[in-house]
Amino acid sequence: MTRYIEIAQSEFVHLVRSPFKTISLILFGAAVIYGCQNGYDLFKTHSNEIISIQANNDKSIANMILQYEEIEQGTIDKPRRDPTIPYWAVWSTPSHAFKYPSPMMVFSLGQSEQYGYYKRVTNWSTIFDSDLAEEIANPERMAIGTLDFNFVLIYLTPILIIILLFNIGGLEKDLRFDNLIYLNNLSKERWLLARFSFYYLLTVLLLLMLITPYALFSGVLQSASLEFFKLLLIISLYLLIWYTAFFFINVSGNGSSDQAVKMISVWLVFCIIIPGAIHQISSLKYPTNYMTDYLDVSRDQSNKIFELPSETLREELLKAFPILQTTLYASDTSVNKAIINRSLSGLVNMLNKDVARTIEWSSEKKNKFIKSFSLLNPVIYFQNEINALTDTDYYAYKRYRSDIQEMIDIKINLILEDTWNKVTVDKEKYIQYVESFKKI
Amino acid sequence: MINIILNEWKMLVRNRVFIYLTIFFVLSLSLVVWMGINQNSAQQEYRNKAQRHVRTQWDNLEAMNPHRAAHYGSYAFKPNNLLNSMDGGINDITGNVIQLEGHVQNEIVYSEASQSLSISKFGKLKSSLLLQYVIPLFLIFLAYGSISNEKETQRLKLLIFQGIPMTRLVFAKSLSIWIYGSSLLLATVFIQSMLIRSDSEVFRRLTLLVFSYGSYYYIITSLATYFSARLKNNTSALSAILATWILWTIFLPKIWGNAVEKIHPLPSRMAFKAAMKEERSKGIDGHNPSDKRREELKNKYLTEYKVDSLQQLPINFDGIVMQEDEEYGNLVWDKHFGSNYTILQKQKGLYQVSGLLNPFASLQSASMGFCGTDMIHHLDFLKKAEDYRRILIKALNDKHAYGGSKTGDWGWTVDSTFFRSVQGFSYESPKINDQMNYYLIDILCLLWWGLLVTFMIKLNTNKKIIL
């Protein structure tokens, strides 16, 4: 143990005396801070935008309540979109579905820049609407990618490790005094292991020191402490894998340059070539979906529904929504076109849900294909694990789409039940509508 | 000089590892080019199928009111440029489908990146990935020891003693490695042009690509050789060139990319939509009969046709209102989308300026641009799709107004013969000659770097400094 401490001490001296390594460490630290700050900025932007939309919604709700009071008092006429009719009342109930950012977003932007995070939901909405497109951003900047902590950890930390380690054991070979060291009753592997352990601890501690303040600022430690500890575990494991790979390179290395060339080649293969190859193969196997099935539903199949006679539509609605059978309109034999027309979004929604299932299923097949390469492609595995922890991966947005769908379903059920029961919406009923969306 | 280059090549060819690596590179590049072309063709076929599907639906529309057809609308699917197989540029992260309908200019949606888990941060394994990352790194590995090895073995003194000027030696070593990199580049371009249907436009683009990559390889090999000559040993030379490479390819593009977005910020989606909604509300609302501006337009037409009521008009006033609504909307879209496009182009321009410090940024920008997969080409597609939307909606509104129906006759329909007569959307990528002004700065930056490294070698590698 004493010997290990001595080796660590001399390694510290070696590090401090190497300007290239110390500058790299400082630059790396700056990159970690810059990456976390980028994540923190996006987290704040998303949170503030959501708060601003919620404030607008509250204003709109207050205006609607005032309008109901004025209609009830008879001081104003009913507008063109009569809010006493359930359809228009539900339509006028501001209901946004939000993808609330996790404070862990500070550590990984993941795929958050590829999706929208708020959506005004109506009974005609779908989970593939164009207003769910990502924030307006420069596509070239997005293609280059953002320097977030995840990127720093996954791609830059191995480079830092290369800078720190490329001449460990190599310098002695370059200067041809390596055999002198082994004369000191120390095996080559143990000597390298001790030196590697020093750098391993150094990088892990450095990362911990730099990310903990961000965890404190953004509220991670209060609301996502478990995820934070999982992140620390992933960091330790990920770095251990790189250190292990480089250890074997240095054990069999023939000098600093030889080791540097091998290390950077390993980095290139695991960080650029393998992920790129899997990306290309997955695109060959699963080409980009142009969503024609969904487009067909939103145009052709919806149109076909609109073309059907009211009697048929009434039958279809009763079949699709059995709950309607006990309503007032169901017991009425006459056909009320207004009621039917206001209920059509229910049938279209059924079609949309069916096609959404197919699309999500095909995306899931592609994801399974990507995941099947995890062993061969550990870098991307870790990248996606961190994205999952920070709630910024594909599945986080899939869950968000489920929330949107749930909200659409609630809207439609409210419209159908109250329209078919011929309810007249007043202030109290409107407040009930508002409350029903707050639960999501 | 030629003798030194030939001598360097002889030494390289004698090295078996070098030969194996070259064979490996040529095979890899061929495989990657082939895979890229296959993937591109499959995607393009899929895209054409989608576009045909949508057109068939349009051609077979049942009789309907033209305004309803405007709501039914159409879709434009973004095509892949032939050279997308070489450099995908921004195509993986931008949307691919844009809805073309009445009343609104939609945004392009359904990007590949949003349809699965994240895979590669550096893009698909296309030839550009190898040409931008792998080959320069290999050239670095070949060049970093070119002079320092000679110094370490004391052979350099011998060479100088034989009368070889130091500068010439450095240039010759650098050029011999550059020729190797350029050969791999030319092999890639040759395979690419053999496997795709090449025309003069493709050749022009490929020539520009060869120039851009060739310049970058010259910069990287010259700089590595320069470090090799100036720094005291192999390790220092390798450390310096690798640090430069990391800075150029990993750090600076991301940091500067983020910075330009902060210097020229884009509006948030919410602010963008709210501003358009606000301005749009000042125009005619085609669907609101009690709209005041509609009244003004009505009076104008009644006076023009010298009639007292809309029913007496020989045309359908609803169609007129819809087109007026569109014209106003178009002004709003042009202003706001136009403003965004201007900001995006400013951002691109500012990013390209970073080429003065980072030739890799210029290479990346030029590569995407010459392959037709950068933002300029993307914006061109969006503009052409919007132009088509306007033509389509105007044709429908004109039919609605002047096709023989009367105001308020929403039951009036036109049959599929009319719908078929409306041209479908077709898109051709712009010619590179017309777009060169966007990429001039990239070329100039690469030339600037080429000159800089040449002067660095010329001025700082004489024998007094090196020995």
Nearest CA-CA partner of A129 in B107, B392, B332, B70: B107
CB contact under 8 A, A383 and B118: yes
Residues A294 and A280 in one domain: no
Give me the pLDDT at residue B7, please. Answer: 86
For the residues B51-71, what does the mean pLDDT come to?
Answer: 92
Number of domains chain A is built from: 2
pLDDT at A30 over 90: yes
pLDDT in tens, B376-417: 999 999 999 999 999 999 999 999 999 989 898 888 999 989
pLDDT at B126 over 90: yes
pLDDT in tens, B274-312: 999 898 888 766 666 557 788 888 889 999 889 988 888
pLDDT at B177 over 80: yes
Q: Is B117 on the interface with A (CB under 8 A)?
A: yes
CB contact under 8 A, B120 and A279: yes
Give me the pLDDT at residue B453, please. Answer: 96
Domain of A364 in residue numbering reads as 87-137+287-438
CA torsion, ordered B171, B172, B178, B184, to nearest 10 deg: 170
CB contact under 8 A, A140 and B351: yes
For the residues B65-77, what does the mean pLDDT come to?
Answer: 93
pLDDT at A327 over 80: yes
Query: Confidence band (pLDDT; 50, 70, 90) for A135?
Result: confident
CB contact under 8 A, A383 and B121: yes
Identify whether A75 is part of a domain. Answer: no
Which residues between 138 and 167 in chain A have a beta carbon less than 8 angstroms from any beta carbon of chain B?
Answer: 138-147, 151, 154-156, 159, 163, 166-167
Please state, rounded to an integer, the average pLDDT across all residues of chain B.
91
Residues A332 and A374 in one domain: yes
Distance from C-alpha of B311 to C-alpha of B328, rounded to nearest angstrom? 25
Give the amino acid at B220: I
Residues A280 and A305 in one domain: no
Nearest to A138 among B116, B255, B261 (CB): B261
Give me the pLDDT at residue B465, please. Answer: 65
Shortest distance, CA A283 to any CA of chain B (angstroms): 7
Which residues between 63 and 92 in chain B have a beta carbon less than 8 angstroms from any beta carbon of chain A?
Answer: 72-73, 75, 77, 89-90, 92
Distance from C-alpha of B400 to C-alpha of B65, rounded to nearest angstrom? 7
The residue of chain A with its CA nearest to that of B142 is A261
Give me the pLDDT at residue B207, please. Answer: 96
CB contact under 8 A, B96 and A290: yes
- Residues 6 or more apart whose CB falls under 8 angstroms from that of B322 comprise B67, B70, B102, B286, B397, B400, B401
Identify whether A50 is part of a domain. Answer: no
For the residues A45-74, what does the mean pLDDT come to?
Answer: 92
Query: Confidence band (pLDDT; 50, 70, 90) for A3?
Result: confident
Chain B residues within 8 A of A384 when measuring between CB atoms: 117-118
Assembly ipTM: 0.90
Q: Which of A285, A320, A346 is the last residue of a domain?
A: A285
Residues A195 and A224 in one domain: yes
Distance from C-alpha of B266 to C-alpha of A137, rounded to nearest angstrom? 7
Domain of B278 in residue numbering reads as 2-466
Residues A298 and A415 in one domain: yes
Query: Confidence band (pLDDT; 50, 70, 90) for B149?
Result: confident
CB contact under 8 A, B348 and A257: no
pLDDT at A439 over 80: no
Chain B residues within 8 A of A277 when measuring between CB atoms: 125
Give me the pLDDT at residue B14, please. Answer: 85
Please state, rounded to an integer, the average pLDDT across all residues of chain A.
91
Shortest distance, CA B306 to any CA of chain A (angstroms): 31
Q: Is A96 on the interface with B (CB under 8 A)?
A: no
Nearest CA-CA partner of A151 in A192, A107, A121: A107
Give me the pLDDT at residue B18, please. Answer: 85
CB contact under 8 A, B90 and A142: yes
Shortest distance, CA A1 to any CA of chain B (angstroms): 32
Q: Is B368 on the interface with A (CB under 8 A)?
A: yes
Residues A154 and A123 in one domain: no
Distance from C-alpha of B379 to C-alpha of B381, rounded to nearest angstrom? 5
Distance from C-alpha of A291 to C-alpha of A283, rounded to nearest angstrom? 15
Q: Which of A223, A257, A285 is the last residue of a domain?
A: A285
Which residues between 422 and 441 in chain B have a beta carbon less than 8 angstroms from any beta carbon of chain A?
Answer: none
Which residues between 365 and 394 in chain A have a beta carbon less than 8 angstroms from any beta carbon of chain B?
Answer: 366-367, 370-371, 380, 383-384, 387, 393-394
Distance from C-alpha of A23 to C-alpha of A29, rounded to nearest angstrom? 10
Residues A328 and A421 in one domain: yes
CB contact under 8 A, B348 and A138: yes
Q: Please tell me the total number of residues recorded for chain B in this structure.
A: 467
* Burial per residue of B118-141, b for 16 or more beta-carbon CB atoms within 10 angstroms, e otherwise: bbbbbbbbbbbbbbbbbbbbbbbb
CB contact under 8 A, B110 and A383: no
Shortest distance, CA B119 to any CA of chain A (angstroms): 6
Cβ atoms of residues B333 and B386 within 8 Å = yes
pLDDT at B224 over 90: yes
Distance from C-alpha of B204 to C-alpha of B199, rounded to nearest angstrom? 9
pLDDT in tens, A151-201: 999 999 999 999 999 888 888 887 777 777 777 777 888 888 999 999 999
Distance from C-alpha of A438 to C-alpha of B29, rounded to nearest angstrom? 56
Q: Is B124 on the interface with A (CB under 8 A)?
A: yes
Three-class HEC string of chain B: CHHHHHHHHHHHHHCHHHHHHHHHHHHHHHHHHHHHHHHHHHHHHHHHHHHHHHHHHHHCCCCECHHHHHHHCEEEECCCCHHHHCCCCCCCCCCCEEEEECCEECCCECCHHHHCCCCCCCCCCCHHHHHHHHHHHHHHHHHCCCCHHHHHCCHHHHHHHCCCCHHHHHHHHHHHHHHHHHHHHHHHHHHHHHHCCCCHHHHHHHHHHHHHHHHHHHHHHHHHHHHHHHCCCHHHHHHHHHHHHHHHHHHHHHHHHHHHHHHCCCCCHHHHHHHHHHHHCCCCCCCCCCCHHHHHHHHHHHHHCCCCCHHHCCCCHHHHHHHHHHHHHHHHHHHHHHHHHHHHHHHHHHHHHHHHCCHHHHHHHHHHHHCCCCHHHHHHHHHHHHHHHHHHHHHHHHHHHHCCCCCCCCCCCECHHHHHHCCCCCCCCCCHHHHHHHHHHHHHHHHHHHHHHHHHHHHHCCHHHHC
Give me the pLDDT at residue B285, please. Answer: 67
Residues A272 and A362 in one domain: no
pLDDT in tens, B155-175: 888 888 888 888 899 999 999
The residue of chain A with its CA nearest to that of B80 is A288
Q: Is B353 on the interface with A (CB under 8 A)?
A: no
* Burial per residue of B183-199, b for 16 or more beta-carbon CB atoms within 10 angstroms, e otherwise: ebbebbbebbeebbeee
Identify whether A82 is part of a domain. Answer: no
pLDDT in tens, A96-132: 999 999 999 999 999 999 999 999 999 999 999 988 8
Number of domains chain B is built from: 1
For the residues B132-157, what does the mean pLDDT come to?
Answer: 89
Nearest to B269 among A136, A138, A282 (CB): A136
For the residues B71-78, what does the mean pLDDT come to?
Answer: 93
Looking at chain B, the whole-number percentage of residues with pLDDT higher than 90 is 68
Identify whether A406 is part of a domain. Answer: yes
pLDDT in tens, B305-363: 899 888 888 999 999 999 998 999 999 999 999 999 999 999 999 999 999 999 999 99
Identify whether A64 is part of a domain. Answer: no
CB contact under 8 A, B254 and A147: yes
CB contact under 8 A, B266 and A282: no
Q: Sort A14 into a burial class: Cβ within 10 Å, 0-12 / 13-18 / 19+.
A: middle
Q: Is B341 on the interface with A (CB under 8 A)?
A: no
B325 C-beta neighbours (distance < 10 Å), count: 25
Residues A270 and A365 in one domain: no
* Burial per residue of A172-201, b for 16 or more beta-carbon CB atoms within 10 angstroms, e otherwise: bbbeeebeeeeeeeeeeeebbbbbbebbbe
From residue A233, give the alpha-carbon distance in Å to each of A204, A214, A267.
10, 17, 22
Give me the pLDDT at residue B466, please. Answer: 62
Q: Is B24 on the interface with A (CB under 8 A)?
A: no
For the residues B210-229, what does the mean pLDDT come to?
Answer: 96
Identify whether A393 is part of a domain. Answer: yes
Nearest to A276 among B120, B235, B257 (CB): B120
Residues A263 and A360 in one domain: no
Nearest to A299 among B72, B111, B266 (CB): B72
Give me the pLDDT at residue A61, please. Answer: 93
Identify whether A76 is part of a domain. Answer: no
Cβ atoms of residues A310 and A337 within 8 Å = yes
Residues A301 and A269 in one domain: no
Q: Which of A285, A305, A336 is the last residue of a domain?
A: A285
Query: Confidence band (pLDDT; 50, 70, 90) for A62?
Result: very high
CB contact under 8 A, B261 and A137: yes
Q: Which secondary-structure segment (H or E) carries A383? A: helix A378-389
Residue A127 region by backbone torsions, left for phi larger than 0, else alpha for psi between -120 and 50, else beta? alpha
Shortest distance, CA A163 to any CA of chain B (angstroms): 8
Nearest to B235 among A137, A174, A272 (CB): A174
Chain A residues within 8 A of B72 when measuring between CB atoms: 299, 303
Residues A312 and A360 in one domain: yes
Q: Is B35 on the interface with A (CB under 8 A)?
A: yes
Q: What is the DSSP letter of A286?
A: S
Identify whether A405 is part of a domain. Answer: yes
